[in-house]
Amino acid sequence: MTTPMAAGSPSRETRGLGLSGLAMLVVVLALFLLGVGAFVLSAVGLGPAGFVAGGLLVVASLFLARGLFILRPNEAEVLVIFGKYRGTVRESGWYWTNPFAAKSVISLRIHNFNTPQLKVNDLDGNPIEIAAVVAWRVVDTARASFDVENYAQFVQIQAETALRHVASKYPYDITLHASTPTGALPVGTQDMDAPSLRGATDAVIGDLKDELSARLATAGIEVTDARLSHLAYAPEIAGAMLQRQQATAILAARQRIVAGAVSIVQDALAELEARRVLEALTAQERAEMVRSLLIVLTSERGAQPIISTS
């Protein structure tokens, strides 16, 4: 039994009355048979008292039979007597409880909910389409029954709200985010391990799960898993963002090629200097050699020798 809860205070699940259903069935059958026996005896000479006693016994047996119920695995029975919560029976089996109790079954199984594709703006303000799969289950039947109107609908609405909020906190792609004029780092130096929606890192998924857990705790719901199931740019900017991704990738590749070429030229000059080869060259010839090396190393085509006939 529970103590009366203050109006508006969070509910808390407690254990309800659940006696052995088999034992109570024996009692119910015994009362029913006694009632039938009283009817028979009244017919052979017991008189009106036998009819009354038999009727009362039969009515009592039928009334007590209302308290019998069966629970399957991963189900819970919430008991309410005269408008007051009187506990929850969780263990599967055959039970008997107070016949006056109003009983409602709540599934304790894990449920999957796939949010619809939502159009939101990411951290950079780009419109994107996003959806998620949320796995959840009821852990507190009292809160699920009495603290929200419809806990299944509550999960759906809160999942969409949390997904919108989390999507607005991260960029779609960390490379494009860092290459924007407002980005903190130039292309090629950004932290590629930073969380982004496209990367689907543990940080993003963990943030979504934590926010969902905080929102659904009011309804006694536990979030067991949350994953992104759909992620794409909105159709109106998908083509432009694809070109931007390609341009960013090309720019980053050229920067790496140039950096590598400069390093190779430096090593080559140091080796030539150590072998005293550069002493025979003028400053203009050295500059021409460096220029030729850089052209060969950074060109997208293979080098073609030029034979001088002078």
Q: What pLDDT was estimated at residue 211?
A: 94
> How do residues 72-122 score in pLDDT, each as one tens digit?
999 999 999 999 999 999 999 999 999 999 999 999 999 999 999 999 988
Average pLDDT over residues 199-212: 86
- Structure-model confidence comparison of residues 199 and 62, the more confident one: 62
Query: What pTM was estimated for this model as a whole?
Result: 0.67
Q: What is the mean pLDDT of residues 202-214?
A: 90
pLDDT the model gives residue 1 = 36
Query: Which of 261, 252, 169, 160 minimizes the C-alpha distance to 207?
Result: 169
Name the amino acid, one letter, at 281: L
Per-residue pLDDT of 274-283, as tens digits, reads 777 777 777 7
Predicted pLDDT of residue 223: 95
Tell me whether residue 47 is exposed, middle or buried, using C-beta atoms within 10 angstroms of its C-beta: 0 to 12, 13 to 18, 19 or more: exposed
Q: Where are the chain's structural domains?
A: 19-107, 111-233, 253-298
pLDDT of residue 201: 75
Q: What is the pLDDT of residues 155-197, one digit of tens each?
A: 999 999 999 999 999 888 766 554 444 444 444 444 555 678 8
Summarize pLDDT for 20-42 with one digit per residue, the tens.
889 999 999 999 999 888 887 77
**Residue 100: how many CB atoms within 10 A of its CB?**
13
Q: Please check whether residue 104 is in contact with residue 76, taking contact to mean a CB–CB distance below 8 angstroms.
A: no
Helix, strand, coil abundance in the chain, percent, nearest 5: 50, 20, 30
- Give the separation between CA 64 and CA 55, rounded to whole angstroms: 14
Kindly report, residue by residue over 230-266, the tens digit of the pLDDT: 888 877 755 566 666 666 677 777 778 788 878 887 8
Place of tokens 């890192």: 201
> Strands (DSSP E) along the chain, which ranges?
19-20, 68-71, 75-81, 84-89, 93-96, 102-107, 111-114, 118-121, 127-138, 221-233
Residue 141 near residue 75, CB atoms below 8 Å: no
What top-level class would CATH report for the domain 111-233?
alpha beta
Give 39's contacts (C-beta < 8 A, 6+ positions apart).
Answer: 50, 51, 54, 55
- Output the pLDDT for position 244: 65
Q: What is the DSSP letter of 280?
A: G
Map residue 224 onto helix, strand or coil: strand
Main-chain phi, psi angles of 226, to 5 degrees: -150, 125
